[in-house]
Each structure stands twice: as structure tokens, then as C-alpha cells.
A and B are shown apart, each in its own frame.
Chain A
Amino acid sequence: MSAASRAEAPAYVATTKTGRFTDFVDERVGGSGILREFGRKVFPDHWSFMFGEVALYSFVILLLSGTFLTFFFDPSMAETHYAGSYTPLKNVEMSVAYSSSLDISFDVRGGLFMRQVHHWAALLFVASVAVHMLRVFFTGAFRKPREMNWVVGGVLLILAMAAGFTGYSLPDDLLSGNGLRIIDGVIKSIPVIGTYTSFFLFGGEFPGTAIISRLYTLHILLVPALILLMIVLHLFMVVVHKHTQYPGPGRNDHNVVGYPLGPVYAAKAGGFFFIVFGVIALMAGFFTINPIWNYGPYDPSPVSAGTQPDWYIGFVDGALRLMPGVIGNFHFEYIIFGHVLTLNVLLPALVPAGIIFTVLFTYPWIERWITKDNREHHVLDRPRNAPTRTAIGVAGFTWYCVMWAAAGSDLIATHFHVALNDVTYWLRALFFVGPFIAFAVTKRVALALQRKDREIALHGRETGRIVRLPHGEFIEVHAPLDEYKRFKLVGFESLAPLPAQPNEHGVVDRKEKRRAKLSQWFFEDRVVPATPAELEAGHGHHEAVEAGESQKTLSH
């Protein structure tokens, strides 16, 4: 800006003190422009959109409570004798890390509360990330243009698990020590580099004296920094894309309908932070989490019944439990060229998690390839309106849950009075058939719900009022829907199988044929939305509903 133009501009002078202060800042950072852009930005409102916020707020609470804990925690594995006020551990030999964790619990004012806030917030953090991802998956929010943000979300899930696991290990109690020992066992099973990796990680033999302080550095520095970085990326992309919205009257891919950021949305979102904090505080005040004083110091000899990781690592632990080490005479640990291949550990530790995360990261591209759909989608699918995707999601989640349940096989056995071995046998079976059952059931349920939507759109809502007609017939009165409610039920797009398309050389190649087959599988069972013609054609023609279903030949 030239001196001349500056002179020309009539200088704004604020009248109040606050005004002068705001103006001072604004002139230097350009806040007005930011406010102009975002102050009235529109956000759609739906309860299922709040899980990402739960995750963000849990993370803020984790940073706050975690900072408090670092003031008192000492990650040293040096030997000491407990001298704090918890008598059942008086004078017991333990590490400084464990001793300082006990001090936080018993001798630091409010320390126990902070520990419990931190741990409950951690469990809630990972849980809300997971639920948020499920919501995004089942509503198709990962579609163009949000594929990359879906991937960032997946990375955040992994980082959240890493943050959780490194934190779980810090108190150096018996539970976390045995958890580390399991990790050590898994690392040692890695071919070629396993033994070395284990020695490098632990600074020598297990357990050594280095691991706690190393995990501490990761837990309070590297992992949170990466999480913060990913959150920034994630939110940046949310701003670029604007939020998705559920289908409904007035909503389409060109607009976003909701409340403006200022004041309503900001107030709700801001208030929600305090609500999440309050709920976590309630849990921390009334429910014990990770009672480290029960477990005692880490010692390689003892172990406690019910030794499990926190819930988010549970599925890996469950997979480890489900894997048989020997089938008949076949040992899954075998020797190849004089070296040991520990498949009974490697397979369950790496394969299920590998499959889950590979599918998770690539799913947007898989679906994009099958549908050849390159359009931007800002209106979500109701899960029932994408039956195959919903069924895939539920099948995957079921698979995860089988492994998850396996991590608690001993507790299932004791609490339901069944044999531990039988629980394992059943879960092994479910590991293979569970996803298929879940797929079939979910797809049927989704189609049934779509049919019900059609029914309601065409015939109206059942009122429960039975009327006798003059000629003696009894009928239930159906109340017609208003056009807004009807549009909610009919305003979706029903994709049909897309036959193989010739490429630029006019040839239908093999890959394309495969794609066409998948497309057929994806969309062959379909319930098309009701049309105005059908509504006109007749009230009470039940056949119309059935006819809309499964027209496999339609696109051929």
C-alpha cells in the first residue's frame, strides 16, 4: 500500500476502550476478514454430527489433565521402596515410576481425580473417534471430496490408539508390565528383525530400565504433536469442504442448510465442550479406572487373572487368544532354514488389524471404482438407502466385535457360567461365519426399512385408528404425510448396477468386467424410491410396493 493511499483512507477511530483494543489487534492480524468469512458460516445440526466434537473435546481435556500429571509423574525405572500413605503397599520394592503414580493417587491433592479424568477421557477419546468414523462410513460421508479427510481420520484413530497404549504402560504396574511383555513377545515374533527390534526398544533385555521413559517421551511429546497436526489438517479440510448434511427438504449437493456459526452453532458447540468435561468429571468422581494400587509393582513373576489391554487394543489381544497354536499335528511355529517363524503370534497380531486398516483406508477408492461415481457428494446417504455398503460396514464391525469379545473370553466364561474353552471355540466359529451372517441380515433389514419407507411415503402413516365402513369392512386410517416429510423418504438416489463400459480403445477389458460384476453385487438388490406417479396411481395397491424391488434386469 502506498503512502498516498494510506493518507486517502479515512482512518477508523474506535470510541470505546474495548473497541480500540480490538481495532489494534485487527489492524495487525486482519481479524475482520476472518470473521466476515466464518462468522456466519452455516453448520447443519444433527446429533450424529457431534462425535467428532466429543473426540476433539476429550483431547483438549487430555492435554489439560495430562499436563497436571506430568508435574508429579517421574518416568524412572530406578528401584525404590514405597513410602507413601497406601498401607497395603508400604515398603514394597517398586520402580520410581510406579511409586510416583501411587503418590499422584494418594498423596497429591486432587491427583487421583486428575488421573481418573485423564484415563476416562482417553477411553472416551478413542471411543468417540471410532463412533465418529462409523457414522462417517455408514452415511457415506467419505465420498468425494472427503476421501483424504477420511484417511486423516484413520491416521488419527491409529495415533489415538498409540497415545492410549503408551500411556497405559507408564504407571509400571503389574497390569501394564504384563501388557508390555506381550508386546515384547509379539515384536520378537517378527521375522529377521524381531529380536533386534525388541532389544532396541527396551534398551536391552526385557524389561530393562529404559522402556518407561522412552514411552513417556512418545506419550507426552511425539504422539500428541502428531495428533495435533492431524487435527489441524482434519479441521482445515472440514472448512474447505463445509459440512455434509442429511437428505431432506431444501437440502441438496449445492447448498448447506443449518444454523449460522454465530451465535447459535458456536454457543451449542462451545457449551458442548463443558458438557463433555462435566460427563467425564462425573465418571472420574464416581467410578474407579485403572486401580493401579490393586495390581502392585511390575514383577515378571506374578500375573493377575483378567489381564487385558484397554478396550481399543482389545481386538488384537482377542485375535491372539483365538488363534490355535497347534491344529492336529501341525504346529504354527515352525522352523524354516534354521530360523523360527512364529505364525501363531504373527498371524493374529498383524493380519486382522492389517485387513481392517487396509480396507478402512482404501474403502472410498474401492467404492468409487465400483460405482464410477466421480461426483461430489455433500448430501449423506441414510444407511438403509445404501444397503450393500451398510452391510459391509456391519460385517466388518461384527468381525471386529468377535475379536473384541475374545479379549474378554475369561470374563465371559466366569460371568455367564460357561466353559472358557467353549467360549473360545464359539468365537473361533463366529470369527469366520459372523461377518457373513451380519452381512446378510443387515442387507435384508436395510431393504425392509426401505420398503417400509416406500409404504409410508405412498400410503401415509398408520394412525392406529380403526374405522368400520358402512358396508362392514374395517380399515385402519392412514394419515397422509405432508410433502416435507414425504420428501425425506423419497428424496434419495437408487444406484443401479453399471454394466461394463468399453475403455478408450472400445474394448471391455477384464478389470472392467470384474468391476461390472462387483457393481452388480453391490446394487442388484434395490428398492427404488416412490414416485409421484405411484402416489397418483393408487392408494392401497400393495403390488406397487413389491414391484419396485430387485429388478435385476433393469439395467441390462
Chain B
Amino acid sequence: MKALSQKRRHPLAAIALLLMGLLLTGGLYAVATTVNQAKASTAEFSASDAEQGGKLFAANCATCHGMGASGSQAGPSLVGVGAAAVDFQVGTGRMPMQMNGPQAYKKPGQFNEQQTHQLAAYVASLGPGPSIPEAGVLDEKGDAAKGGELFRTNCAMCHNAAAAGGALTRGKFAPALADVSGKHIYEAMVTGPQNMPVFNDANISPEGKRDVITFLKQIEANGSPGGADLGALGPVSEGLFVWIAGLGVIIAFTIWLTSRSS
């Protein structure tokens, strides 16, 4: 387990450092392009938010992420990851992590909305990064068909075509997306939590992300026209069902049919 988490740490630290370097020095990418339109906008955060967040951070997160969120052996630097990353990780309960493992699990959040907001404010104040998405892209009124195409190309290989989740290597997995809020889906796409790749705005535009969220919410609301979806896991659950339930019921009938009447 230890070796595993060490493996995880190194590249992440490198990425974070690089991001910091690029973004803070106003390097080639951040300035010249529109990669992430969602720039660090601390406007929505008051100074007191950041201050409160700093205290929360020192008490709850600094053990791993280091004082000033500069990273340590146990956790990556958070400078420049942006408010979106905090809102996603803390908002879905993944952070603070319960224990070291291949992957942080979703669980009931440890912080309330205000505290999450304050933590986000603090981390956003450390360096520019993706911010929490605006309501406009979360209205679920995009083009579901386009979103479906984007989802199948970019997401379905890990999350399954019906967003039922799937396995990754060595104990990691891509979670099912039902019951995940549009905001968190959006934040996951822009920040690439854990092993998920980053889908910046140059890859999938905010409009495209809106379409993806629309698609996901639409299929979730629709449900399956054919009845219970058996987990939407494909032929494996269908096969199990026919062997256990289908044949089971048939065998029950055959036993009744061939037993003698009393």
C-alpha cells in the first residue's frame, strides 16, 4: 500500500509544481490561450472567507498537504488547483481522505457548505486555477444528443456508456455518475481529480460540458424504457439474471409440474 501511494504522490507533486510554475509566472500557456476561461476569480470570495478557510485548512488539511498547501510527502501541493478542485474533493466527501488507498472514496461530506466555500476561497487565493462553474452551464438545457456523443468519446470507456461506472487498474475505479450533481461533474471535468484526465475548456468547451451534463441528467431522469435496468452493467448482469431468476422460476415451475397432486 505504501509503495502504491508513493507512486501516486510523485507525479502529482510534479504536476502541481509545474502548474504553479506555469500559471504563477504567467507563462506561455496560461496567458496566450483560452485554455481555461475559468480563471482564478477571487471576486466571489471575500477576504474573510479566505481567512476562515485558512484556519480550517491548517486544522484539517495541512497534515498531508503541508502548511500553506505547498504539499508534503503525504499529499500534493494545492497551489493553483483552483476553487473547483476543492469544491469537488471536499464537497463530495473525498477529502479529507479517510485512509490511504488506491483511490479516495466518495462519502458524506465532513464540512458544511459554508466551510467548503471558505476552504475553496483559501485555496483559490493561493494561485489562479479553475473556479466553481457558474449556474449558466449547469442549467441542463444543452443538447443531450451532442452531449451523448462527447460522453461516449471521452468518458464512456471508464464510466460506462450508461454512466454506471467501471474498473481501472490496481483497485482504482471510475465511479457511477447517477446522483452526482451537475456542478461536481463539471468540476471533475475541469480539474481531473485523482486519475481522471483533465478536460480543459480547449478540449471540451463549457458549452460541450453543459451538453454532457444535460445528457447525463436526461438519461438519469428517463430511466430505462424496458423496465428495471439491472445496474446498466451490460451482458454480465443480464446473463446472471437469466441463470438465477429466469431459470430459477422455470425450475420452480418444472418441480410443481412434475410433482404429484395431493
Contact = CB atoms under 8 A, between A and B. Distances in A.
Interface string B153-184: 10011111110111111110110000000000
B242 interface: yes
Interface stretch (B31-39, B107-115, B202-210, B246-254): B246-254
B74 interface: no
Interface stretch (B19-27, B121-129, B222-230): B222-230
A275 B259 CA distance: 16
A306 B254 contact: no
Contacts of A309: 235
A128 B99 CA distance: 47
Given A120-B242, A290-B238, A411-B167, A279 B228 contact: no
A128 B247 contact: yes
Contacts of A90: 144-145
Nearest to B222: A88
B258 interface: yes
A294 B235 contact: no
B226 A112 contact: yes
B246 A124 contact: yes
A314 B161 contact: no
B102 interface: yes
B250 A299 contact: no
Given A88-B219, A306-B164, A127 B247 contact: yes
A80 interface: no
Given A275-B253, A288-B224, A302 B152 contact: yes
A174 B228 contact: no
A323 B257 CA distance: 45
B243 interface: yes
A419 interface: yes
Contacts of A268: 257-258
B218 interface: yes
Contact of B166 (A45, A299, A305): A305
A175 B234 contact: yes
B168 A420 contact: yes
Contact of B165 (A89, A124, A308, A414): A414
Nearest to A47: B254
A32 interface: no
Contacts of B160: 304-306
A544 to B, nearest CB: 34
A272 to B, nearest CB: 6
Interface in A291-318: 291, 293-296, 299, 301-311, 314
Contacts of B171: 413, 417-420, 422
B186 interface: no
Contacts of A127: 242-243, 246-247
Contact of B157 (A87, A271, A302, A308): A302
Nearest to A93: B149
B161 A286 contact: no
A190 interface: no
A283 B246 contact: yes
B148 interface: yes
Contacts of B158: 305
B166 A306 contact: yes
B178 to A, nearest CB: 13
B3 interface: no
A289 interface: yes
A311 B250 contact: no
Contacts of B243: 127, 311
Interface in A259-277: 268, 271-272, 275-276
B232 to A, nearest CB: 6
Interface in A109-124: 112, 116, 120, 123-124
A412 to B, nearest CB: 9
B174 A91 contact: no
B161 A296 contact: yes
B197 to A, nearest CB: 15
Nearest to A302: B152
Contact of A92 (B148, B224, B229): B148
A100 interface: no
Nearest to B161: A304
B224 to A, nearest CB: 4
Contacts of A305: 156-161, 164-167, 174
A158 B230 CA distance: 28
Interface in A56-113: 87-92, 105-106, 112
Interface string A409-427: 1110110011111100000
Given A47-B255, A421-B170, A295 B161 contact: yes
A310 B235 contact: yes
Nearest to A51: B254
B153 A301 contact: yes
B170 A414 contact: no
A540 interface: no
A441 B226 CA distance: 42
A36 interface: no
A150 B238 CA distance: 28
A420 B258 contact: no
B148 A308 contact: no
26 contacts: A51-B254, A88-B144, A88-B222, A89-B148, A116-B227, A283-B245, A284-B226, A286-B228, A288-B225, A288-B228, A290-B235, A302-B153, A303-B157, A304-B162, A305-B157, A305-B160, A306-B160, A306-B236, A307-B234, A311-B239, A311-B242, A407-B236, A410-B167, A418-B171, A420-B169, A421-B169
Given A305-B157, A310-B238, A310-B239, 9 more contacts: A88-B222, A127-B242, A272-B257, A291-B226, A296-B148, A304-B156, A304-B161, A306-B164, A422-B171
Closest 8 CB pairs of A and B: A305-B166, A311-B239, A288-B226, A304-B161, A419-B171, A410-B167, A47-B254, A50-B254
Interface of A: 45-51, 54, 87-92, 105-106, 112, 116, 120, 123-124, 127-128, 131, 174-175, 268, 271-272, 275-276, 279-280, 282-291, 293-296, 299, 301-311, 314, 407-411, 413-414, 417-422
